[in-house]
């Protein structure tokens, strides 16, 4: 009986990409402003990096952030279905693949502890990125604000979420929505005592 290889962890994937480019930990540290120790801990899965930290590492590696999460096993966790990515691109001579993503087929993107992102698009080849967000109480994108090109909007389905854009904070509750330029430094955190569930759209895709 052939044993299946366990899914590659996020830190292992980052390390593999770094080594493949012939870079040392100190090279990434110098490019990102992070410490060599923190990068090493990320690679060894000792700490869960925030979105802003992952974006810095991905930029230093000149590697798409979304690829760090590709092909991960999405089973379990929070009772929400997720899993492998269904290819959406139509290859020459290939059959047309359904544009529908069933709950059990969502690609899992987990940028930090207590935060789960599930891709609602079949893939990220289109002009927009649609994401199902789950924030555990007290969790968020990190204390440091981040930015990226484009435009985004979100809708709160359950709980509450505090979105800070530069120096102004907006406390959103169930039914509230928000729209802003992604190039504005921003961050998100669940200040409540229940899980926050929301859907988010980014254009262009940035994972």
How confident is the model at residue 94, as a pLDDT?
Answer: 46
Distance of CA 50 to the CA centre of its chain: 9
Would residue 108 count as lying in a domain?
yes
Residue 148: the pLDDT is 87
How confident is the model at residue 70, as a pLDDT? 56
Q: Is residue 80 part of a domain?
A: no
Domain that holds residue 51: 10-69
**Do both 64 and 116 map to the same domain?**
no
Same domain, 149 and 59: no
Q: What is the CATH number of the domain that holds 136?
A: 2.60.120.10
Q: Which CATH number goes with the domain that contains 61?
A: 1.10.260.40
Domain co-membership, 145 together with 195: yes
Whole-number Å distance between alpha carbons of 142 and 49: 9
Q: What is the dihedral of CA 118, 121, 126, 127, to 10 degrees?
A: -60
Domain total for the chain? 2
In a domain, 112, yes or no: yes
Closest CA to 80 of 29, 119, 26, 25: 119
138 and 193 in a single domain? The answer is yes
- 29, part of any domain: yes
**pLDDT at position 102:** 94
- List the chain residues with pLDDT less than 70: 1-7, 69-97, 111
Instruction: Provide the edge-to-edge strand list for the sheet that holds 151-158.
Output: 107-112, 115-119, 129-135, 196-203, 151-158, 177-181
Furthest C-alpha separation in the chain: 58
Asked whether residue 17 is assigned to any structural domain, the reply reads yes
Please indicate, yes or no, whether residues 198 and 110 belong to a single structural domain of this protein. Answer: yes
d(CA 106, CA 131): 10
My answer on whether 123 and 187 are in the same domain is: yes
């Amino acid at each position: 009986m052939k044993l299946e290889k366990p899914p590659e962890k996020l830190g292992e994937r980052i390390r593999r990409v770094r080594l493949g480019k012939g870079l040392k930990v100190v090279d990434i540290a110098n490019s990102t402003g992070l410490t060599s120790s923190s990068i090493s801990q990320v690679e060894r899965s000792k700490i869960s990096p925030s979105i802003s930290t992952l974006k810095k590492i991905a930029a230093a590696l000149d590697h798409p952030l979304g690829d760090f999460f590709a092909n991960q096993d999405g089973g379990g966790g929070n009772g929400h279905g997720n899993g492998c990515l269904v290819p959406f691109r139509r290859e020459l001579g290939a059959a047309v693949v359904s544009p529908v993503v069933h709950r059990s087929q969502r690609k899992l993107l987990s940028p930090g502890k207590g935060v789960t992102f599930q891709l609602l698009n079949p893939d990220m080849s289109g002009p927009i990125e649609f994401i199902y967000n789950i924030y555990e109480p007290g969790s968020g994108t990190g204390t440091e604000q981040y930015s990226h090109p484009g435009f985004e909007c979100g809708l709160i389905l359950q709980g509450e979420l505090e979105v800070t854009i530069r120096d102004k904070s907006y406390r959103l509750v169930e039914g509230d929505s928000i729209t802003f330029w992604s190039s504005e430094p921003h961050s998100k955190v669940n200040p409540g005592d229940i899980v926050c569930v929301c859907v988010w759209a980014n254009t262009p895709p940035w994972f």
